[in-house]
A and B are shown apart, each in its own frame.
Chain A
Amino acid sequence: MGCGTSCSTKDRKSEKVFISHGSAALKAALIIQNWYRGYSARLKARQRYALTIFQSIEYADEQGQLQLSKFFSFMLENYTHIHEKDPELVARLFGSTLQDCKDRQEYVSCIDVPDSYNGPRLQFPLTFTDIDILLEAFKQQQILHAHYVLEVLFETKKVLKQMPNFTHVKTSPSKEITICGDLHGKLDDLFLIFYKNGLPSGSNSYIFNGDFVDRGKHSMEILMILFVSFLVYPNDLHLNRGNHEDFMMNLRYGFTKEILHKYKMHGKKILQILEDVYTWLPIGTIIDNEILIIHGGISESTDLNLLHRIERNKMKSVLMPPIPLDEDHDTDLKTKVGATIIPREVKTNGSLSEQLTKHEWEQVINILWSDPRGKRGCYPNKSRGGGCYFGPDITSKVLNKYQLKMLIRSHECKPEGYEICHGGKVVTVFSASNYYEEGSNRGAYIKLCCDMTPRFFQYQVTRTTCSRPLYQRVNAIESSAIRILKERMISRKTALIRAFQLQDHSKSGKLSMAQWAFSMENILGLDLPWRSLSSHLVTTDKNGNINYMSSFQDIHIQKPVKEAQSTLIETLYRYRSDLQIIFNVIDTDHSGLISMEEFRAMWKLFSSHYSIPIDDFQVDELAERMDLNKDGSIDFNEFLKAFYVVHKLDKLSKSDSNLP
């Protein structure tokens, strides 16, 4: 750690220029080094803070997602009330569309690939040539035609159905296996992995540990490459289901939008088949009977034997828990809504035989959502709202129970692309570099072979050939993180101001740092280093007190209609992601339109479940104002897009990046 000479503060203050050049140079060098190390450390800390912000908000969003799933359960359980008001709505929501997608011939053959199509053409049965064709095409930014997408999906489902819940794999000295974590639609990372590590083949095995889709812009391309590779090498390319291989997550986190945008009218069919394909993805892989590979983690009650046995395809969406249906309830469903409207295979949750038991369902949730932590024991995962936090004692207990040595999982973004914890028994591998923002983190993959220690390979995709200096990268991710944090603040402005004012007894508009930090943490529900972040969010006076209203001065939510009330706008902005999902679910023909009655019914249910104190008629009025062509239907994408945050100090006005 440098040579032994230390420079005391006294020396620094009274430095003189000595005649001997050497000694002065030494002192000068020390000063510069000291300053630089301090500066560099502060940069790295800022980078960490930014990552903490991104991560907290990401997990808080996942919590929001769980809340939404409870809302759907609530709707299901109260179907009678909905039914009375609108029988068609019930049918739309809970009716089956699975009947439609059974016949493959009908789908694939009725979509022609025109001669004018310049994109990649696949030939079934697929061979390694098709993998090359796809890779080349995607490098040229081409899109695979819906006809081929559907064929690939059907074939993949057929082959996946034959796979067990856990694939058992053996390695040998000549056959290593490579394990990749979350890719999240980041195609460049997959290209980089294949470039560094070679394409999948009979002698180059891969495991992709879930979360192939959502967030990034090329989820479809990644999925196609992985599925095609799987079809060519079903015994050497292994796919595990992640928490994002779930149609409800896709609705919020971007994949559904990507599909509808790239495939337009064929998108609906693709979405329907995809829902099904997801449920057939295996739960995990076990290597050499020693290493367990699953997406999230474990809990103290993880029962691998049970997990080997369950009918995994009954897990439609991890966010739609099985509803307790007894005999009477079941009959009720049929008689009230009519046997013809709801056939036995209900889209969401139906009769008992179509669901997992609550116990089985929880087992799967824990596998897909849990995170390891240093604290001993097993307790609910508060930040995500699903799965649990498991400690090193839980890891030891579960691994010992099944005579396993290690757990490899993904699910969490790590700055170095991987992280080892629990005394080496748990490894996290994450393969999407620059996940939150360019420069936020590296990606990594693991190479394993029997009896050898795992080897880790890291990388980072950069858009330009020479990466920017550290301070520029840190500035970029820091301003991006602060931006989304401010957007979150403004979506809870009313509650925040109320909390601030409650503490501001003298009505001075100022609070102490401690008071301000307390309210921020309480209202926003984010565990962040508020004191360190305060300089980015508020102004302080010369006594160090916070001017709490200053956060809201340079930012506001754009009002889609002049007369609309601020609190209404704020509420709609806050719940816009949830509303988008609900509307997407109602809009079964994916037209982008819902009727005014549907909108009203949905809003009433939503606001009562979420206890939102907004007058129904205000929302009505707003919706009517926005029904621009007065035909009684609302283009809900337009409706929701209208709520965006304006950052007044932006030179280029950027609409908020939070919409999936």
Chain B
Amino acid sequence: IIASEYHKKIKDAFEVFDHEANNTVDVREIGTIIRSLGCCPSEGELHDLIAEVEEEEPTGYIRFEKFLPVMTEVLLERRYRPIPEDTLLRAFEVLDPSKRGFLTKEELIKYMTEEGEPFSQEEMEEMLSAAIDPESNSIHYKDYIAMMVVDDS
């Protein structure tokens, strides 16, 4: 029963991005679909998943028939669980060792675009538009997290 409910959930999410209604989606939207189902793979993990669902000869499109079984496994195994709020908070605190309670715009940009799995310019701008306090040009991360978590639930 659980598997069939997962199937329906996956189908719903897939269909919303299936513009031509022919059971395929653009590979560039697969990340969005997987994440919209509540999973949080890293970019590297996403890369691996895509390799699993792609055609032998990559066409730029992912077919539902290949996507469904792989995604069902992911959901059943509860892989790529989302990050808990307090882990996220501690991550920000690591980047703010002097415990000011905020990060400057430059600091955030530096960490997000130079470390880890760097943001693209578009991702960086998007994050800044919501996170930054225009008067102080800084990110008060505790408030920011609280706001985003409510919105996301």
Enumerate chain A interface residues (CB-CB to B < 8 A). Answer: 1-7, 9, 12, 15, 17, 21, 24-42, 44-46, 48-49, 52, 372-375, 419, 421, 467, 469-472, 475, 513-514, 517, 529-532
Contact = CB atoms under 8 A, between A and B. Distances in A.
A46 B32 CA distance: 11
A38 B94 CA distance: 21
Contacts of A52: 16
Given A2-B116, A6-B44, A31 B16 contact: no
A9 B81 contact: yes
B137 interface: no
Nearest to A535: B153
Given A3-B117, A25-B94, A36 B127 contact: yes
A4 B88 contact: no
Contacts of A469: 126, 129-130
Interface string B37-56: 00111111111000000000
A183 to B, nearest CB: 22
Nearest to A513: B5
Q: Which A-B residue pairs are the 5 nearest by beta carbons?
A: A374-B22, A2-B117, A6-B44, A374-B20, A41-B35
B101 interface: no
B107 to A, nearest CB: 10
Contacts of A38: 35, 39-40, 82-83
Contacts of B95: 25, 28-29, 32
A375 B21 CA distance: 7
Contacts of A21: 97
A143 to B, nearest CB: 37
Interface in B1-48: 4-5, 8-9, 12-13, 15-17, 19-24, 31-36, 39-47
B88 A35 contact: yes
B118 A2 contact: yes
B112 interface: yes
A531 B8 contact: yes
Interface in B57-99: 79-83, 87-88, 90-92, 94-95, 97
Contacts of A374: 20-24
A537 to B, nearest CB: 14
A253 B21 CA distance: 27
B44 A5 contact: yes
Given A2-B44, A9-B80, A34-B83, A530 B12 contact: yes
Given A9-B81, A25-B95, A470-B130, A30 B42 contact: yes
Contacts of B97: 21
For B82, B91, B95, which residue has the most chain A Cβ atoms within 10 angstroms?
B91
B123 A40 contact: yes
B43 to A, nearest CB: 4
B146 interface: no
A419 B17 CA distance: 13
Given A30-B117, A35-B88, A38-B39, 15 more contacts: A6-B43, A17-B94, A29-B91, A29-B112, A29-B116, A32-B95, A33-B117, A33-B118, A45-B33, A48-B17, A374-B20, A375-B22, A471-B151, A529-B16, A532-B13
Contacts of B94: 17, 24-25, 27-28
B16 A1 contact: no
Contact of A373 (B20, B35, B46, B151): B20
A660 B88 CA distance: 47
A37 B9 contact: no
Nearest to A475: B151
A374 B24 CA distance: 9
A467 to B, nearest CB: 8
A15 to B, nearest CB: 8
Contacts of A531: 5, 8-9, 12
Nearest to A375: B22
A529 B15 contact: yes
27 contacts: A1-B43, A2-B43, A3-B116, A12-B87, A17-B94, A25-B111, A25-B115, A27-B94, A27-B116, A28-B92, A29-B91, A30-B42, A34-B117, A35-B83, A35-B88, A36-B123, A37-B31, A39-B148, A44-B32, A48-B17, A373-B22, A374-B22, A375-B21, A421-B19, A421-B20, A475-B151, A529-B16
Nearest to B126: A470
A469 B139 CA distance: 15
A531 B85 CA distance: 25
A15 B33 CA distance: 28
Contact of B111 (A29, A44, A46): A29
Categorize the interface residue count of chain B: 35 or more
A59 to B, nearest CB: 13
B152 interface: yes
Given A3-B117, A17-B94, A530-B12, A373 B36 contact: no
B31 A41 contact: yes
A514 B5 contact: yes
Given A29-B111, A32-B91, A41 B83 contact: no
B85 to A, nearest CB: 9
Nearest to B132: A469
A46 B34 CA distance: 13
Contact of A39 (B8, B13, B15, B152): B152
Nearest to A3: B117
A34 to B, nearest CB: 5
Contacts of A17: 94
For A29, A42, A419, A475, which residue has the most chain B Cβ atoms within 10 angstroms?
A29
Given A25-B94, A471-B151, A419 B19 contact: yes
A373 to B, nearest CB: 5
A14 to B, nearest CB: 11
B8 A7 contact: no
Nearest to A6: B44
Nearest to A21: B97
Contacts of B47: 1
B40 A35 contact: yes
Contacts of A49: 16
Contacts of B36: 41-42, 44-46, 532
Contacts of A44: 32, 36
Nearest to B128: A469
Contacts of A45: 13, 16, 32-33, 35-36
A39 B41 CA distance: 12
Contacts of A30: 42, 115-117
A32 B119 CA distance: 11
Contacts of B40: 34-35, 37-38
B16 A48 contact: yes
B126 A34 contact: no
A4 B94 CA distance: 22
Nearest to A376: B22
Contacts of A471: 130, 148, 151
